[in-house]
Amino acid sequence: MEGIDVAQIPSGQGGSGIAADLASGLALDLASGLASGLRVHAPARLHFGFLDLHGGLGRRFGSIGLALDQPAVTLTARPSDHLDVTGPEARRAAAYALAAATHLGIPGHAALAIESAIPAHAGFGSGTQLALSVAAALAGLAGRPFAPEDFANALDRGNRSGVGLAAFTHGGLIVDAGRDPEGNPPPVIARLAYPEAWRVVLILDTGMTGVHGSREVAAFRDLPRFPEAQAAEICRIVLMQVLPAVVTAEPDGFGAGITRIQGLIGDHFAPHQGGRYASPAVAEALAAIAAEGIAGYGQSSWGPTGFALLPSEAEARALVARLERPGPLRFLIARGRNTGAAVTPL
């Protein structure tokens, strides 16, 4: 049987909007495969930046990001009389399984085998994708409805950005409107297909991780309020430059807009990550990319992963060939992924 793209699964009765497009159809569509189990494949995401850290209009944060075809979470789930988790990130996945089982009101017995994992604390949203993958697997095995927005609170995901949830559900280039004063999950207000020819060169520093956990909480607590004028500039860039450039397939306009957003956000967070970019090695590579005149580059979330935006596979490969040298950096050439997670009965 072919993989089921979660973006194509009919909406259920609970919830609304993009996140609700993955709902009760999951259990029904997978019924024939439950006896042997199922496989979940979920994309990583890049976080290009926040729209409004000032929050003067009531909503705070707001994000723009992109689902990627790699790295990715791939796991299998089979019925079991107890919880058994193997593979990379097994301990983390087990914790998510227990939380998801509690939310579902089921014992949480399953044999989960993680075949591939997204690097943790590297700017790819690994926690959200792993948590939702595990929750989708348990819901599928139990024949229960699965709505990512419901599991976001149960699994403590999407606290500041809705990009990870939407990447799991639909993929593509995503813009969310941030949290409202009541703390409701960020609604997705735009989702566009990313041009198929465009590539993202990922620059991974294998020797460090980005700010996360208590350090991340402290950063948001201690940083000064973001300037209102700069938040306004970012929103204008997103609406009038970045999104139109994707629709009209103008890579330089898209890249220049993302780079400007990166500069404004990176400088704001610099006191907590040691500069505009968290990794000195990544910063050096990005400086070389800027010197070449490449329009789009930056750091995903807290890093340390950097990225460069290229209009073609050939240009991406040529850039990697020029940048590669001995050291802590590893390079991947990724595509934008315009579909969300896929679930396949075993």
Range of the domain at 92: 4-345
pLDDT at 159: 57
- CA neighbours closer than 13 Å in the CB half-sphere of residue 304: 19
pLDDT at 5: 40
Closest CA to 346 of 137, 168, 146, 147: 137
Calculate the CA 184 to chain-centre distance. 19
The overall pTM is greater than 0.85: yes
- φ/ψ (deg, to 5) at 201: -85, 115
| Residues sharing a CB contact under 8 Å with residue 238, sequence separation 6 or more, in sequence order | 51, 64, 175, 257, 261
Q: Helix 90-104 vs helix 126-142: angle between axes, to the nearest 10 degrees?
A: 50
Predicted confidence (pLDDT) per residue in 65-104, tens digit: 999 999 999 999 999 999 999 999 999 999 999 999 998 8
- Tell me the mean pLDDT in the region 172-183: 91
d(C-alpha 252, C-alpha 135), whole Å: 39
Residue 175, SS3 per DSSP: strand
pLDDT at 334: 98
- Over 90: is that where the pLDDT of 214 sits? no
Which has more pLDDT, 307 or 165? 307
pLDDT at 224: 86
d(C-alpha 327, C-alpha 286), whole Å: 15
pLDDT at 161: 74
Give how many domains the chain has, as a whole number.
1
In this structure, of 29-33, 203-207, 228-232, 339-343, the range with the lowest mean pLDDT score is 29-33
d(C-alpha 237, C-alpha 213), whole Å: 30
pLDDT at 183: 78
What CATH number is associated with residue 341? Answer: 3.30.230.120
What's the maximum distance between 2 C-alpha atoms anywhere in the chain?
58
- Tell me the mean pLDDT in the region 142-160: 71
pLDDT at 25: 35
pLDDT at 223: 81
d(C-alpha 112, C-alpha 115), whole Å: 9
Closest CA to 267 of 237, 224, 306: 224
- Tell me the mean pLDDT in the region 308-317: 98
Neighbouring CB atoms inside 10 A of 332's CB total: 18
- Tell me the mean pLDDT in the region 339-343: 93
Which amino acid, residue 235? C
Which amino acid, residue 286? L
Predicted confidence (pLDDT) per residue in 6-65, tens digit: 443 333 333 333 333 333 334 334 444 455 899 999 999 999 999 999 999 999 999 999
Residue 26 parent element (H or E): helix 25-29
State the pLDDT confidence band at 285, using cuts at 50, 70 and 90: very high
Neighbouring CB atoms inside 10 A of 57's CB total: 12
Predicted confidence (pLDDT) per residue in 99-142, tens digit: 999 988 888 899 999 999 999 989 999 999 999 999 999 988 98
